[in-house]
Structure 1
Amino acid sequence: MKTVQAMLAEAEAEVPRISPDEAKGLLGRVDVLFLDVREPAEVATSGKVPGALAVPRGLVEFRADPGSAMHDAAFDRAKTVIAYCASGGRSALVGKTLKEMGYTNVRNLGGFKGWLDAGGEVEKG
C-alpha cells in the first residue's frame, strides 16, 4: 500500500518542474496548454494563468481522454502541458496521470503562488 508521500515522490520524479520564468516565455503559444487543476472556488478567488484551461483534479482523466464523452479538445498529446495547482502536489499527480495516458511532454509549474511571486500575469477565474 502506498502513502500519499510515496505517490507524490513518484510523481515528482517522473514529471519535470518548470520555473515560472521559463513558463512565462511559453504563454500564448498554440503548442502549449496551461492546465489549472485547482477547484473552481480557488480559481474564482485568485484568478489563473492567462488562457489556462481550468479543470478540477477529479475531472482531468475524463477531459484528457479522447474516448471520453467529457473530452475537452484543448487536450492534445502533441502539446506541452504545463500543470499547476495551489502548492504543486495535485499538479504533480496530474502530470504523472497524463504521462500514463500518453501525454509525453508534461511539466509541473508547481503552485500558483510561485507564478504570482514571479510576476506572472493573472486572468480572472
Structure 2
Amino acid sequence: MKKLKKNSASMVAEARARIEEIEIQDLIQLLDDDNVVVVDIRDVRERQRSGFIPGSVHAPRGMVEFWVDPESPYFKEVFGEDKKFIFHCASGWRSALTVATLQDMGFEAAHLREGFSKWAEKGGPVEMPEPKS
C-alpha cells in the first residue's frame, strides 16, 4: 500500500485548527439572519436523500473555489455579497477542508463543526426536496 505524506484525518485536523467552527445550536439561531448564507457542499444525491437546511445555497464541493472567485467564468453572484458564509457537509470534514482552502484564497467563511448528520438530531430544521413527478 502506498504511504501518503499526510492522511485525510490530519488534513481535517489542521484545517479545523485554523478556521472558525460554528456549533449547531448557534447556526439554528442565525437562520433568520439576512446577513448569513448557509452553503451546503454535499452531493446533490445527499440533499435529495437527507434533505437540507431551509434557505441554504447548494454549491457542490468540486465547484466551490470556482464559484467564489470573481475572476472565474463560474463565479456565482451570491458569493460576491457582503455576508457571513457558513459552509457544511455531512460530517464536517469536507467543509473544514473547503473553508481552509477558501481562507487561503482570501475568502472569509466558517463551517458547521458537526455537519448535517447531527443537524436534525440536535433540533435543526430540515426541508425535503419536492418529489420528482
Give your verdict on TM over 0.5.
yes
**Match of residue 110, structure 2, among 100, 107, 111:** 107
Distance 2:117 2:10 in 1: 24
* Mapping 1:5-84, distance limit 5 Å: 5-76=9-80, 78-84=82-88
C-alpha offsets along residues 52-105 of structure 1, whole Å, 9 cap, x if unaligned? Answer: 11111111011111111111111136321111111110010111011112122x
Any gaps of 5 or more consecutive residues in structure 1? Answer: none
The 3 A distance-change label for structure 1 pair 92 and 77 is farther
Give 1:108's aligned amino acid: H
Percent same amino acid at aligned positions? 40
TM-score by length of 2: 0.85
Give 1:81's aligned amino acid: F
Distance 2:26 2:9 in 1: 27
Give 2:16's aligned amino acid: E
Give 1:18's aligned amino acid: I
Any gaps of 5 or more consecutive residues in structure 2? Answer: none
Displacement over 6 Å in runs of 4+: none
Aligned Cα RMSD in Å? 1.5
- Which stretch shows the higher mean deviation, 110-119 or 39-48? 110-119
- Which stretch shows the higher mean deviation, 69-78 or 83-92? 69-78
Quick check: which has more Rg, 1 or 2? 2
In structure 2, the residue corresponding to 1:75 is in which secondary structure?
helix
In structure 2, the residue corresponding to 1:81 is in which secondary structure?
strand
Distance 2:81 2:12 in 1: 23
Distance 1:79 1:53 in 2: 13
- The aligned length equals 124
Q: Show the counterpart of 1:123.
A: 127
